[in-house]
Amino acid sequence: MITFAPDLVINRYMAEIVTQENQEKKSLNFIEQIVEQDLAEGKNGGRIQTRFPPEPNGYLHIGHAKAICMDFGIAERYGGICNLRFDDTNPTKENVEYVDAIMEDIRWLGFQWANVFYASDYFQQLWDFAVELIKEGKAYIDEQPQEVILSQKGTPTQPGIESPYRNRPMEENLALFEKMNSGELEEGSMVLRAKIDMSHNNMLFRDPIIYRIVKTPHHRTGDKWKAYPMYDFAHGQSDFFEGVTHSLCTLEFVPHRPLYDLFIDWLKKGEDLDDNRPKQREFNKLNLNYTLLSKRNLLSLVQNNMVDGWDDPRMPTICGYRRRGYTPEAIKLFVDKIGYTLYDALNDMALMEAACREDLNRRATRVSAVIDPVKLIVTNYPEDKVELLDAINNPEDPEAGTHQIAFSRELWIEREDFMEEAPKKYFRLTPGQEVRLKNAYIVLCTGCKKDAEGRVEEIYCECIPNTKTGESESNRRVRGTIHWVSIAHAVQAEVRLYDRLWLVENPRDELARLRETGLDVVDAMKQMMNPNSLEVRPCCYVEEFLADAQPLDHFQFQRIGYFCTDKSSTPDHLVFNRTVSLKDSFKPKG
Ligand code: ATP
Ligand code: MG
């Protein structure tokens, strides 16, 4: 059996190395190389067909995005097709909500499948094939309990023990297989096993279970079936029935590949398939630090209300990233940067955030928002005067134009942009210092007023005439620029600031470790969770331009970060999610 290094390598620089290499060779990733070679050799008649095969047992996460980019990307690049196939062989965990969500997320990422198929489309064909195997003496019904079957498997260095039912007469096997599907048997009371080799060095060949009884109704076939094929007995055959040429999956399936090939050989009974059979090839899974993937874990978070649903902006689901403000382009850029390799690694979340900034920098409209407001009064500015000033929407994109912002005597600014007594290198507001108010005047700070507790209530400044952009004094030298919004014109908004959901760099391994100490999933997760992963600021002020911001609109709150209008936002109650800060300010704890 093939095994992989159990410890993940921290892979901070991998992305750069991979992309550099790719650029140098203008090179193909190793899967593309395989595909090109197959095309050159005329395999499968020059056809390319892939599939993306999710199990509809949860929402897609960022790891799936990597597989999607590969499956759809290969088809696109080589003029082939990619189908969506739901691997729905386990009715207890699957449902239509997940099917719909998976489709929505793939479309949002910008991919379109040629056909939608379901493994359940092939239940009859798979059943017939299993019957065929029984008749050929290649499968038998085992009535031993699961634990016993497991205990007879042996170890990689020791052969397994043959089941006492292994040589049951064919007729008996056929009758019992029918019975497995009739509803009269309890789950777990018997299974169908392929008869291969109990001492094979690939443990998966030691008479694998290929059918089991499940009595939960199926989301598509209802209660028609009670006997369901196992993954290994469904996946390769489904690929074969559909005409898949390249069945791309992740590295944990490497040991399954020989079984995948064997079942297809059995299916075609020795017919020469060399140039016309699906080929399973494997690439590394995406693992991200400070991120827990796996639908099963994410489902626990949702079911135990530890997050605000599958699309909580802290979730690593595709819909979570969408709600958080990531774009499909940012996700694809990230996947591109990390590349595909033949070994498992742990990628740095900072790479994902950098890809997001790179993309949003190109598309986000620059606006002013104050998320920790304190009042600034321009004492020499007339009380009833309002000026409309031009603000550039996006310096990276001249075509994005400008919008207007109102300037008046009373403004909101960030509390941290004032210090009554400031150190030397503090270039923001402090009495006696001049500062530029972004898009407006240079002002001289003159002082502040404090409440009984000594907290600053109001800050005062004087506007220096003719210092607006383009005016005679505008080139006057100042070290700092701060943002502001006019109090009379600002709109109140709720701002949600997110941080990492997990305190530990490798939550997957930490969760496993805590579970081993006897903790249940919820308690273990609670120990690992960042208690400050969400900070809600109910009373922020944003410029008027944002009053009709629509859900999923992207903005750069100048000097603060990239933000996205939340799906719950309305004109009466604006809500913005911080997608990512402007710079990487994260410091690992400890
Ligand atoms: P999970 O454990 O999160 O449920 P899974 O592998 O069971 O993941 P499936 O729906 O069975 O999820 O997988 C659909 C496809 O996505 C498979 O081809 C699988 O290899 C791929 N995939 C799943 N997780 C990742 C990941 N982290 N990185 C890359 N590909 C992944
Ligand atoms: Mg799964």
**The pLDDT of residue 401:** 96
Give the CATH number, domain containing residue 354.
2.40.240.10
Residues 382, 479, single domain; the answer is yes
Name 66's Cβ contacts closer than 8 Å, sequence gap at least 6: 285, 286, 335, 338, 340
In whole angstroms, give the CA distance from residue 96 to residue 300: 19
Return the best residue to mutate from 51, 64, 297 for the ligand 1 pocket (most ligand atoms within 8 A of CB).
Answer: 64
Does residue 453 form part of some domain? yes
Q: What are phi and psi of 152, to 5 degrees?
A: -90, 0
Nearest-atom number in ligand 1 for the CA of 54 is: 10
Name 408's Cβ contacts closer than 8 Å, sequence gap at least 6: 381, 385, 386, 387, 486, 487, 488, 489
Q: Tell me the residue range of the domain where 503 lies.
A: 295-368+489-590
User: Which residue type does 535 have?
Assistant: E
Does residue 60 form part of some domain? no
Residues 427, 519, single domain; the answer is no
Residues 407, 376, single domain; the answer is yes
DSSP E strands, 66-155: 81-86, 116-118, 139-142
CA 401 to chain centroid, in Å, comes to 33
With a cut of 70, list the residues of the chain below it in pLDDT: 1-26, 270, 272-274, 585-590
Residues 412, 446, single domain; the answer is yes
Q: Which residue shows structure tokens 């998966």?
A: 204
Cβ of residue 322 lying under 6 Å from some atom of ligand 1: no
In whole angstroms, give the CA distance from residue 506 to residue 529: 12
Cβ of residue 195 lying under 6 Å from some atom of ligand 1: no
Tokens read off for 226 = 């009670």
**The pLDDT of residue 324:** 98
Residues 426, 566, single domain; the answer is no
Does residue 179 form part of some domain? no
Contact 541, 369 (CB under 8 A): yes
In whole angstroms, give the CA distance from residue 332 to residue 65: 8
In whole angstroms, give the CA distance from residue 279 to residue 268: 15
CA 465 to chain centroid, in Å, comes to 51
Residues 347, 379, single domain; the answer is no
Residue in 558, 559, 554 with CA at minimum distance from that of residue 579: 554
How many A from CA of 326 to the centre of ligand 1? Answer: 21
Cβ of residue 51 lying under 6 Å from some atom of ligand 1: no
Cβ of residue 316 lying under 6 Å from some atom of ligand 1: no
Nearest-atom number in ligand 1 for the CA of 71 is: 18
Q: Which residue shows structure tokens 């809500």?
A: 575
Contact 520, 511 (CB under 8 A): no
Does residue 247 form part of some domain? no
How many A from CA of 490 to the centre of ligand 1? Answer: 46
Residues 362, 494, single domain; the answer is yes
**The pLDDT of residue 3:** 34
Residue in 493, 385, 395 with CA at minimum distance from that of residue 438: 395
**The pLDDT of residue 269:** 79
Instruction: Report the DSSP pairing between strands 227-229 and 246-250.
Output: unpaired
Ligand closest to Cα of 61 equals 1
**The pLDDT of residue 407:** 98
Domain boundary, last residue among 483, 509, 539 = 483
Contact 119, 234 (CB under 8 A): yes
Contact 495, 576 (CB under 8 A): yes
How many A from CA of 118 to the centre of ligand 2? Answer: 15
Does residue 376 form part of some domain? yes
Residues 354, 493, single domain; the answer is yes
Does residue 248 form part of some domain? no
Q: Which residue shows structure tokens 């007995």?
A: 233
**pTM summary value:** 0.92
In whole angstroms, give the CA distance from residue 335 to residue 339: 6
Residues 419, 465, single domain; the answer is yes
Residue in 45, 434, 51, 109 with CA at minimum distance from that of residue 277: 45
**The pLDDT of residue 561:** 98
Name 232's Cβ contacts closer than 8 Å, sequence gap at least 6: 204, 208, 210, 256, 259, 260, 263
Residue in 359, 369, 363, 367 with CA at minimum distance from that of residue 400: 363
Does residue 126 form part of some domain? no
**The pLDDT of residue 14:** 42
Give one DSSP letter per residue of 495-522, joined into a string.
Answer: EEEE--SBSSS-HHHHHHHHHHTT--HH
Q: Give CA separation, 214 vs 71, 109, 211, 220, 486, in Å.
A: 31, 34, 10, 14, 64
Using CA positions, which residue lies closest to atom 1 of ligand 1?
Answer: 294
**The pLDDT of residue 7:** 38
Residues 452, 500, single domain; the answer is no
Cβ of residue 293 lying under 6 Å from some atom of ligand 1: yes
Which stretch of DSSP H or E encloses residue 171?
helix 170-180
Give me the residues paired with residue 209 across strands: 193
Contact 191, 61 (CB under 8 A): no
Domain boundary, last residue among 460, 483, 506 = 483
Q: Give CA separation, 309 vs 289, 290, 417, 507, 527, in Å.
A: 22, 19, 36, 19, 20
Cα dihedral value 133, 134, 137, 138, nearest 10: 50
Residues 417, 477, single domain; the answer is yes
Q: What is the CA radius of gyration of the chain?
A: 30
Residues 521, 559, single domain; the answer is yes
DSSP state, residue 151: H
SS (H, E, C) 187-204: CCCCEEEECCCCCCCCHH
Instruction: Report the DSSP pairing between strands 191-194 and 369-370.
Output: unpaired
Cβ of residue 85 lying under 6 Å from some atom of ligand 1: no
Cβ of residue 56 lying under 6 Å from some atom of ligand 1: no
In whole angstroms, give the CA distance from residue 108 to residue 321: 11
Could you tell me the sign of the dihedral formed by the alpha carbons of 358, 360, 365, 371, in that order? Answer: negative
Does residue 28 form part of some domain? yes
User: pLDDT tens for residues 232-281?
Assistant: 999 999 999 999 999 999 999 999 999 999 999 999 876 766 677 899 99
How many independent structural domains does the chain possess? 3
